[in-house]
Structures are given as C-alpha cells and as structure tokens.
Structure 1
C-alpha cells in the first residue's frame, strides 16, 4: 500500500509518501517543491513524480493520494470567481444585498460592506420568479412558474454566465421547486455549473443559505476545472491512484463530491495541519494544544481541547466576511509567514505583512528578482538559516541579497543597524502572531498556560519558542517533520460527510409523535450519509455515524452543537440533549439557564469511516545530551534578546529518543529549522518530535 499526502501552500507544496509492504514493513519519504500559483496541479504532479523517484517507486504504484488545496479560498480572496446568475423567489431578489442589516464596524464612518461592495452575484443577474412555499410544513402556496425560470435561464445563457444558483424561500422544508428549476436551467445551459441552495446547505435562515449557495456557484467552475486538470495531469504522469480531497471539517471527500459542493474546500489547506497537529500531540502525550502553522504566506491558528478538534459555531463560519454555513474547523489565519514583506509605510512606521513575496519572486535571498526584505531574509541575516541547509540544500540562497534588502529598505530609512532592523522584523511579526493566538485562545476562555504550543510549517519552529514565551505556553512542540505536518495530517484523516435538515423542535412538552418525527429525520440523514460512504467503496461494517442537534434557548439567534445519543429519539433522549446543551453553554459562556426551554434548530448526521493511519517507527533510545554524533558545526547566531553567540547545529535525522539539546542550538533538517534559544532544552520524543521547555535552572 502506497499513499501520498499533498498540501499546497502559498509558497511551497509539501508532500509525504508512506509505503507499507506485505510484511508490514513501512517507509516514509518527504519532499517539498515550489507552489505553482497559476495552476497548482502543475506543482502537485511535479512533486508527486519527484517524490516517487526519491522513494524508488513507480508513480503507477501509488494507491491513494490525499490532497489539501487553497484553490477555493484563493478564488474568494482574489475575487476572480465565476459570473453567477441567481433565480430566487419573487420579492426576495435583494436578500444577498441586504444581508442582516449588520454594520461590520458599528462606529466607523468609512466601513465597507463586502456583500454590497463586492457581491458574489451582481444584482442584474438575480432574477425573481413566481413560486412560494410556506412554513411550517413546506406546503406549496404558489406553484413554480416554469416559463419564468426558462426565460431567466435563456437570459443567463445569452449573457454567457458560468454558473447559476437556485435559492427559494423555505426550500429547507420542501425543495421540490428548487430541484425542478435546476432541471430547467441545466437543460437550457448544459455547460453551466448549477446548484440549488437546499443541496448545498439544507438549513433555516435564507440569507446564510443563499450566501452559501452563491459561494458554491462562485467558486464552482474554477474549482471543478482545477480538479479536472489535477486528475488529467496525474493520469498523464502515470499516477492512477484514487484521489481524496481534504474538507474544511477535517474529513476527506471524493473529487466528484468536491466538484459538486466545492464550498466544503474553503479551509481545505489549513485543515490538514490541525489534523496533523492532533496526531503529533497524541504521540507526545499532549492533548491540550494550540497549533500555529507558519508557512510562506500565512499563519493558521487553531486550538485542540482534550484531543478534540474545535468546530466553529455556525454564526462564525464565514470566508472573506461572507457567511458560509458549512462545518469548519475553528482556524484563524493572518498574513504572517516567511515570505511576509517588511517595509516602512508612508507615515514612517515599520510594518511586516500581510503582503507576501510568495514563491515568485520569493524572498530577496532566493535570487529570483525579489528586492523587498522578508521575514526569511531577517532570519538569514541573523544567522538562523544556513545556505547549505536551506531545504536540505535543494534551494540555493544568497545571504548577501538578504543583507542588501534589509539595509536599503529598512535599516537606512529607519536609522538602524542591519542587525537591529532584522530583529525588528521578527519582533513585529511575532507580536502580530501572538495577538492572533490570544484572540483564538484567551479571548475564548482558554488559558494558554495549560497548553502546548505546536509550531509547524516551514517557518514554524523558527518562531515557536519566541511565541511560546509571549503567550506563556507550558512548552513548545516542534513535530518530526514541521514543514510537512499538514501533508502528514492528510494521511491520518478519514472520510467525513455531514447531512443536515432544519427541524425547529422545543425539547420540553412535546408528544411522542413530535419526537418520532425527529427520529425519522435522523434516520433519513443517516441513510444519505451511508449512501455517500457506500459510493466511496466503504463497507457498511466500517461506517460510523454521529448525530448532532444544533440547539439554542428559545428566542436566541444562534446555536451550539450538541451530540445526540444513539437509538430512538424519545422524551428521555430530549432530556439528555437538554442537559448536554446546558453543559456546553456553561463551557462556552460561563453560565447556563436550566429553567429556560431549549429548542433544536438543525439536525445533523456525520458519517465517517476509520482509514489507514500513518505509522512512524519509534526511534532507538539515545538519552544523550548534545550528542556529538548529530553535531555538524557552529556559527554565530543572533537571538531575540540581541545576543550573538557561537551556536552549534545538529542534524535532526541523527537524534535518538530521549536525547536532549541544550540551547543555544539550531536543529536543521530538510523541511524546516528549529531554534533552541539560550536557557531552553529540547527533548526528543519517541517518534522524533521535539518538546522544548525552559531549562530547569531557568524555570
């Protein structure tokens, strides 16, 4: 069995290959190639072919490929998606414009409303037709005028629109009209991407449902083309493996499902890193973790509590300030990474990011034409990145170019030495990241002092200890392969599909018929999840299901996710759900009103299956301190306190379990570099992960 994980970042594409032979012997190989922004599939296939060559296997021997991508996210951020048309209920043409009448910034006179200033669907391409479905039972009040739908589709075809979304009022109760309108549009526009809101998110709240469906259509054509290109290029390279796509909820789906509902890929890129972080934490005996994935362009932050991923509340699931009602791992991203550009703004202020040099031209030291200094250039100037070990020597860098960029663009304009300017770059970017970590932890009631900070991504371990000190984390973890942790996370995830249905039900005072109706909805959703898993080739015995009720107090505006016990939904089940809701509300907000009635709003069934998991061999025991067998050489290195010290380098691949590295030290490897400052000690764990904490004399 040969499996490959591929994670595409803004600067590099990271790959890992696991080969398990018939006798159970296992080999793991890693690789990194520059990302190809114009078409990510070029870099993906190039990396897969090169990695197969490194591993000594034929591309045709690869059985499975798991892929995390930023294609969908980039389309939204760059606002270069499809020209979309919308057919909606008469009288509700402007739902996408009005939203919920919220001001993004209540006290700003110059605030921007993104759903109005940069709408996914232009008003002239939103056409209302006669139809009406009424609550609470979804009865048809006004029959769909199919001729109006056909005329709208003909107009869209004349305008050469790429995609069409159908969004009718109360379609979550009865989607008959939406599905019929979709049939008509597909007949008139056979080459267009067409979706119905009830197929994207079958839930209450028309603005959020319409927005989610609009997002799906906006990113649909380009995402589908990317997936088609990927499969075609893989085939041309001789890779015939089945492909699975990482989703925003931390599971994987088929290419076909991702092409139909690409909205599930919006956090595909960073999700793999959080999964890999949880898996690494388990190997280190840590289940309370703050993860930060620092790549070339961005830093992605998430929290793992008790070994469980944190899923965003529905009120917070948005992309580019637009609501998207799909389940997402709670990840915050900021523009801070190795490629973040440092500059002096028009007011004379020293700033770093969010603009990035990316892969092309990249930091100045790459020698590809970049002249602006970046965070990576600051690391080079301070002696923390050695030219001969950058990407294992696979990418040549020129320290002189870094020094010149920082001197000309920062040091001279600010009247600083080159060293102080470089230290300033790191101080600013670290503060930006520490503030973002605090907003994702402290601001949500999490005390970082009880958590390990896991810093990964190519640049993560360069900043890990500094960030850990700033947020008072109990220790810092540098995974065995920091630069490809997200790719490794792809190999430890499982298929995951979520099916929803809104069904407003108060948990108190209901009769058996009402509870039976709830049970019937759960049964239907489970059947849909089972059918999707079966379509992926997963046997019924390997399928597992979790039932979720999104609950709120009667009169509240938003819900919390509550797991529902298995079995028939009865009055006893309702009471248990209510008690679980109180407990979650108390955890989230510090209080619960147990005398108030609770209402279920949306029912959800999550279908999963256990997959093959990545297995790394345990290292032989070492127990050495600063082992000479792993020592390379020493060079002057400047640390955050301004000290420049002769600092030994250690080859990470030669370290053994229970070895310790006492700072100051730099641990080098092919895909990342780990800084161990003075006063800190790194301990090698059983699989090779490093846990860095203050030395006892310093603690």
Structure 2
C-alpha cells in the first residue's frame, strides 16, 4: 500500500509561455527550507498546453518528484493576446441599444496617424463584431440614475438570439447605453440569449467592465467575447492534460494587472489575460531589484519574438492610464501594468527590403522553424544567428547542450540574405543586425522612460528573458543607464515572477460625483458603494480558500478635473469616508497629475468617475536562497574554456567562458568575458566588470 504523502511539503510551479520557449520554475518548500529548480522547453504554438504539460512533467523529473506532489501551479499565457493580434477569435454577435449599432465602427473619430493616407483603421477593417452581427433592440435607460425610460423589448432580444443561433455564432455580447448605472436590461437580455443559445459564450458589459464610456465599454466586452470561447477551451484543455499527466493541483492564471486569478474567473473575464505573458516578468524584475538594492529599474524582457519594456519607480509597479490600455490599437478598459512591447527578439528576422534598406523584425522565426542555426528548416537570418556568427553563443553550450545549433547554417543565412546583397562581410553583416535591433529597442526604452519623465541615468537597466543579457550592456550604453543587472535566472524571470504574485480581483462602480463639493449624502453613497464591492471581493476570496487575515482591500477613486478627458487613480485612506479622507484623495490626485503631466491646478474642482476596490489574497513569496561567498577575481574554478569572440566595436578577442553556477557571492569577472548558464548567456564586454551579489544576481558596470 502506498504511503500517504507529507502534505506539509509545498511544491509550486510557475510556467510562462513565450513565442519561442516555455519557461518553468519549481519551488519545493519544506518548512523554512526551499529548493529551486528551473527548466526551459520549446513552445508549441499550435497548442500551448502541449509544451506546458511537457515542461511540467520534465521539471518534476529533474526535481525528483511525482507530478501529483505539485500543490499549486501558476501560468502566464499569450493565448488571448495572440488571438487578437492574429485576428483568430470567435464569430461574435452583439445586441445593443437602438441607435447605437455602429458605435464600434465610429469609435472616437480619431485616427492613430492623422495625416497618413495608407494607415489601416483596425476597428473598421477588421472589427471584433461584424456589422451584420450587430443588432439593435428597443430599450433605453437614462442618466444620472439609470431610470428606465423605455422598457426592454424581450421579443426583439429573443429574435436576435434566434438569428445568431441560425448563423451558428460562437459568442454573444450584450451592451446597452448607461448599463453601468442600471444593469437590469443587460442581465435580462443575457438570460434570454442563454435560453436560446445554451452552448454560446454570452457576456454582458456590466459583468465585464461596469464603467462609464460607451465605446470603450462596448469594445472591451466585444474583446472579451472575441477571445472567450478559445481561451475557455484552452484553459479547460490545459487542466485536462495536466490531470492526465498526474497534476491535480489548482491552476492560477497571471492577469494583466499583475495579480493572479482562478481558471474559472479567467474563463469569465479572459480580457484580463491580455498582458498575462509579460506581466510575470515585470513582477520578477521588481523582486530582483529589491534583492539587489535597486528600487528604480527599467526592465526589458527580450525573448524569441518580442521585447517587453516597463519602468519600476521606488519599487512600485506602474498601472497604465485608461486612455492607453489598448491591444492591437483596440481599447480595453481593464487595469494593465504599464508595459510596452516591440517586435524585437532572438528570433527577429533580418532582411533587405524592396527599397534596399537593412531591417530587423518585427517578423519572427518563432519556435517553428526557428532561427537558421537551429537546423529545423529556417533559412532566414535572425538576431540569434548573428550572435552565433559572432561567437557569442557557443553551439555546443546552447541551452546547456540540450539544443544543438549549427554555426555554419547561421553564417550561410547571413551571407545569402544580408552580406552578399549589401556587399558586406558576414561579420559586418552580423554586427549590423545587432546594431539595428539594439537601436530599435533603445528607441522603445526611451519612449517608455524619457518620454514619460524618467531619466535613465538614475535607473538600472535589468535585461532578462533568454536573449536579454546578450543585449543588456549594449542597451545600457545607448540609454546611459546607471548600470545593468543580469538576474540569477534571466531566461526564467517571468516564470519566477509568477510565484511572487498574489490572488487579485478588481471591482468597479461609476459614480460621477464632484468630490470638492461632496457632503453627507455623497459620503454615505461612497461608503455604501465601497462596502458592496468589498463584500464581493470577500466572497470571491472566501471561495478561493484565503484566510481572513490574508485578505487585503485597497480602495481607489479614479478622478479627473471637471470636464477633463481621462481620470487618474488616487487612493482613499482606510477608515470611513469623510471630508478629511476625500481631501486626502484630492491631494493624492494633484500629486499623481503632477507626476504624469508635469503640472497640477490646485484651485480646480475634482470629480470622481470610477470607484475601484482591489481585493488581494496574500500568498507565500518565493524564497531564493543566498549563495556561498567567494570574493574571487576572475575565478579559475568557474572558467571552462576560451574562444574568440567579436564585440560591438569589431574587436576579435580571446574570451573566457565562466559557468554561472560556479560563481559565488562577491566574485568579480572582468571583461571581456561570457557567463554561461542553461537558460541564458551574459556578455561582459571589454572595459566592463561583473560583480556577483548575494543571491546570484550580477551587476555589470564600467
């Protein structure tokens, strides 16, 4: 008879899926002791769950445990984002208020590029809901209290649902004017559609994003339905595959706001997953910054397909302004970490365009066929091929030798597609590829920092992702960062971030109240609204099994000047809503406005637009153990071999390789050097020095 397992031992796994690789980290905690295992497997773009389950079973084998010993599994995924970018979502029907059928087409009458004659307007050329599938029905609610002006015509709703059923639509959204003030019509219409179409994915705007702004609200719920059926199918399939593999642990999904949520909640509101992939990396970077004593960090997560950039100030993550929360140029009114992404990564393809210009990206070789050096059928040169051709990636050491690469294939692809057409040597062509992609990334970093009032000279650049430390110092030079950090496990940082997150849910109410003139009635209304949202959050956390003392509720009032276009977040202090607490909200709004826009008008009236409660359930953070102290310089014990390597200035230098796993705290490695590990490679150019910190993170500076 099998012995019962010791349930006091907790095993948590974080899985982050990228365009090229799926990254995994396993934490095995026994009392105060914790053991960390990391792993990396190729992604499976056709069905991400295949790569996830393969990686989970492999990391369990490496850790010497059975899959059923996993107690909690965290997952960051790009399923939802890819669907929007590639326009592979569901066929959606929409039921809306009569007279507002075309709100998704008209949008805000704004063009992203006003003077471009060729620019495509995606909400018109590739709408989430085709016009023929948008049906208006009779109903009308009126502001400011949501009173019913015209009752809902239920027969019209039923007829619309029957037509959608006949067209075999996958999903239906209900979005009525002013439903954020009164959701009775939306909820009744939803019931009717579910009766007629029991197998369809049905959602109402008041369930998904219960806030003001009709176009943005309609667009958000349309996005939720567009990605809903396939996201639900993926998550359910993932759970099924994990169970078949012996993993019976609860699964938690990374959200765009930096929190985690249950599979059930993610199926209901998949629109919250649109930044699921890169969010984990920013959280992991914040933890690394804290461990390194660097509260001000610019992060760049360079994977195989994209580079994701964010700024951490004073150890705090930044939430995007609602005006900027977009995916593929479509507004999505859900909280998102302030992350900018560009098409630049190890798999980015270099080419000479029709006009003879030398370009890199955004098109990527991805995981299949991958860079030419992988020998899997890819023939176009990529950034990874350039690194191989310059001797910076060793063919016999790539992914610890798990993935064999061919330097000859890399050089041939660069010669054929870049060097020969431009009359360059292979070396100069490869250096050109890196200069172009580095400058593309540096411009994006400046847009995310300098353009928003951040001085990179006062910040540390943290470069992670599988390709991050290959580019870190070069990018740090271009943007004039204070120094550069290569985290302990650069290629797994996003997966590590998953184990640093908390359960998090957000609840909203629209109010439209001038705080500067609020009185007793407004105080009572605000207090009651917050109490209702906190009760919703408490019920959700209770169902998640979070103990009362592990729950936290943050109250936020999103404010603007009366007549201003968009609002900013201001915190409401703990305790009852009073004149003093609202004065604190107004003062916080002024401070945030000054930080975002460079000025604030203290004599202007401030209006509350949206109330928000952020309900969190604390989880046990990841424990990274300290490593033994060495204090050595260029330690021979960690040196493996020496190879000639080409650096950015064209110098070809004999360059020692150091095994990162053999470096100890306070060790110093002087450039030129290359530090190798299974999930990434760190370059220390001539004139730079790398120093190993207490947990194994490395700082690089002149």
Q: Fold match, TM over 0.5?
A: yes
1:8 maps onto 2:25 in alignment: no
Deviation of the 1:616 alpha carbon:
1.2
Deviation of the 1:60 alpha carbon:
0.6
TM-score, length-scaled by structure 1: 0.99
Tell me the distance in 2 between the aligned counterparts of 1:569 and 1:135.
Answer: 25
Deviation of the 1:605 alpha carbon:
0.3
Which residue in 2 is equivalent to 1:170? 178
1:561 maps onto 2:569 in alignment: yes
Q: Secondary structure at the match of 2:517?
A: coil
1:476 is aligned, of 473, 476, 484, to 484
Which residue in 2 is equivalent to 1:154? 162
Which residue in 1 is equivalent to 2:502? 494
Deviations 1:623-681 (A, max 9, x none): 10110110001100000011010000000000000001100000000000000000000
1:525 maps onto 2:536 in alignment: no
Q: Secondary structure at the match of 1:388?
A: coil
Tell me the distance in 2 between the aligned counterparts of 1:590 and 1:215.
Answer: 33
Tell me the distance in 1 between the aligned counterparts of 2:317 and 2:244.
Answer: 37
- Map 1:199-348 to 2 at 5 A: 199-348=207-356
Q: Secondary structure at the match of 1:308?
A: coil
Tell me the distance in 1 between the aligned counterparts of 2:668 and 2:335.
Answer: 41
Which residue in 2 is equivalent to 1:59? 67
Which residue in 2 is equivalent to 1:551? 559
Deviation of the 1:111 alpha carbon:
2.3
Tell me the distance in 2 between the aligned counterparts of 1:158 and 1:675.
Answer: 60
Deviation of the 1:106 alpha carbon:
1.2
Tell me the distance in 2 between the aligned counterparts of 1:601 and 1:545.
Answer: 19
Q: Secondary structure at the match of 1:309?
A: coil
1:589 maps onto 2:597 in alignment: yes
- Map 1:620-699 to 2 at 5 A: 620-694=628-702
* More divergent stretch after superposition (449-458 vs 572-581): 572-581
Deviation of the 1:566 alpha carbon:
1.3
Which residue in 2 is equivalent to 1:41? 49
Which residue in 2 is equivalent to 1:445? 453
1:19 is aligned, of 5, 20, 28, to 28
Q: Secondary structure at the match of 2:50?
A: helix
RMSD, aligned CA:
0.6
Tell me the distance in 2 between the aligned counterparts of 1:280 and 1:511.
Answer: 46
Deviations 1:211-253 (A, max 9, x none): 0000000000000000011000000000001000000000000
Tell me the distance in 1 between the aligned counterparts of 2:422 and 2:342.
Answer: 26
TM-score, length-scaled by structure 2: 0.98
Deviations 1:356-397 (A, max 9, x none): 000000000000000000000000000000012100100000
Q: Secondary structure at the match of 2:413?
A: helix
1:93 maps onto 2:93 in alignment: no
Q: Residues 516 and 570 of structure 1 are in contact (CA less than 8 Å); yes or no, is this contact kept in structure 2?
A: no
1:609 maps onto 2:617 in alignment: yes
1:540 is aligned, of 538, 543, 548, to 548
Deviation of the 1:25 alpha carbon:
2.3
Tell me the distance in 2 between the aligned counterparts of 1:89 and 1:613.
Answer: 47
1:102 maps onto 2:110 in alignment: yes
- State the 4+ residue runs in structure 1 displaced beyond 6 angstroms: none
Q: Secondary structure at the match of 1:387?
A: coil
* More divergent stretch after superposition (12-21 vs 101-110): 101-110
Deviations 1:239-293 (A, max 9, x none): 0010000000000000000000000000000000000000000110111000000
Gaps of 5+ in 2: 1-9
Deviations 1:53-104 (A, max 9, x none): 0000000100000000000000000001000000000111111111011122
1:384 maps onto 2:392 in alignment: yes
Tell me the distance in 1 between the aligned counterparts of 2:218 and 2:354.
Answer: 41
